[in-house]
Amino acid sequence: MANRNKIVEQSKKKSSSPHAKKTGQFRVIGGNWKGRKLRFIEVEGLRPSLDRIRETLFNWLQNDIHGATCLDLFAGSGAIGIEALSRGATNVQFVELNRKAFHQLEENLGLVNADNAHVLHGDAFDFIQSNQQTFDIIFLDPPFHKGIAQKVIEQLAQAEWLKPQTLIYIEVEQGLELNVPNNWTELKDKKAGQLQYKLFEVSPGN
């Protein structure tokens, strides 16, 4: 008991330090881990998708998510990828560049005992270039106002591993015009607050 009290006391001191990491919280809204609350590191450009947006997204995907192999390319908090796992995805590959966010994501996956997930600390563009695995669903939620969304769309469209019938979810700031390949069919489009989110399906051909 003495050791445990010491650990708790150290944790309190660490959290009250001006140099302690600032954390927020999000909750899983459906599936096996429904209601589970997890932490995320508050860093620039990282914002977990809102509950109502994830609810809408997974309503769109309700017939596709079970058994799907997914890519959460700008994982951040991991809220979308963890939601996918909770709702029956077979596997999720997370890619996150920020080291603090990456370590917190690893911790969260450990807390929910997600043994069907892999987290990569690295750049999304490097991943697209080097990856060889195919995915059924790709989640793109890049930092806003940095011109990243259009660049990643263009690079992803050239990837040899992008297969027909892949579903691609994109979340960006409202008003941003996206130029997508002719063979990406827009299935869904919705706005909420200062952002917009869309779902595409890749068709055969260019």
pLDDT tens for each residue of 87-99: 999 999 999 999 9
Q: Is residue 100 part of a domain?
A: yes
Across-strand partners of 26? Answer: 38
129 within a domain of the structure (yes/no): yes
Please check whether residue 27 lies inside any domain of the structure: no
**At 158, which helix (H) or strand (E)?**
helix 148-158
Say what angle helices 51-60 and 79-86 make with each other, to 10 degrees.
50
Compute the distance between CA of residue 68 and CA of residue 177 in angstroms, rounded to an integer. Answer: 29
**pLDDT tens track for 152-189:** 999 999 999 999 999 999 999 988 999 999 999 999 99
pTM, full prediction? 0.85
Rounded Cα distance, 175 and 195, in Å: 8
Domain count, the chain: 1
Residue 30 belongs to a domain: no
Question: Given the structure tokens 């063979």, which residue do they identify?
Answer: 183
Position 66 in a domain? yes
Asked if the structure places residue 109 within a domain, the reply is yes
Do the beta carbons of residue 137 and residue 199 sit within 8 Å?
no
Is residue 11 in a domain?
Answer: no
Q: What is the pLDDT of residues 43-83, one digit of tens each?
A: 665 556 678 899 999 999 999 999 999 999 999 889 999 99
Give me the domain span that covers residue 61.
45-202
**Tell me, what CATH number does 98's domain have?**
3.40.50.150
In a domain, 145, yes or no: yes
